Amino acid sequence: MTVTIGCGRSLNETTMKEKVELRPAYVWDCPDCGREIFHRGLVPEMTPEKEEELRDDFGVQPYEEGNFIMMPTRVKCPHCNESFPTLHFGDEDV
């Protein structure tokens, strides 16, 4: 198997030395300075029963995979130091 990476180089299975872990994150644009900000999301630990309850509450289908992540109600831009309330997908104002 050959994998093409962003810079146009190709790697095959014999030259790949390690795998990287993908972690959930969210992104937002600062309304004041215009910069794109990335934050690592927090994945709460929960029992399988609680996860199933959340899947039912949010209408997650059995074939859909992924993690629930916790997102803040306010964010602060590390560049201009301004703070903002957040909206999440599904909120009426989005």
The Cβ of residue 27 has, within 10 Å, a number of other Cβ atoms equal to 8
Does 2 fall in a domain?
no
The total number of structural domains in the chain stands at 1
Does 69 fall in a domain?
yes
Digit-coded pLDDT (tens) for 52-68: 999 999 899 989 988 88
Does 42 fall in a domain?
yes
Report how far apart, in Å, the C-alpha atoms of 91 and of each of 10, 34, 48 are. 42, 23, 26
Residue numbers of the domain that contains 46: 22-94
Digit-coded pLDDT (tens) for 66-83: 888 888 899 999 999 999
Does 26 fall in a domain?
yes
Does 47 fall in a domain?
yes
Does 50 fall in a domain?
yes
Q: Which of 5, 70, 77, 87 is nearest to 38 (CA)?
A: 77
Digit-coded pLDDT (tens) for 16-41: 678 888 888 889 999 999 999 999 98
73 touches 86 (CB < 8 A)? yes
How confident is the model at residue 14, as a pLDDT?
Answer: 61
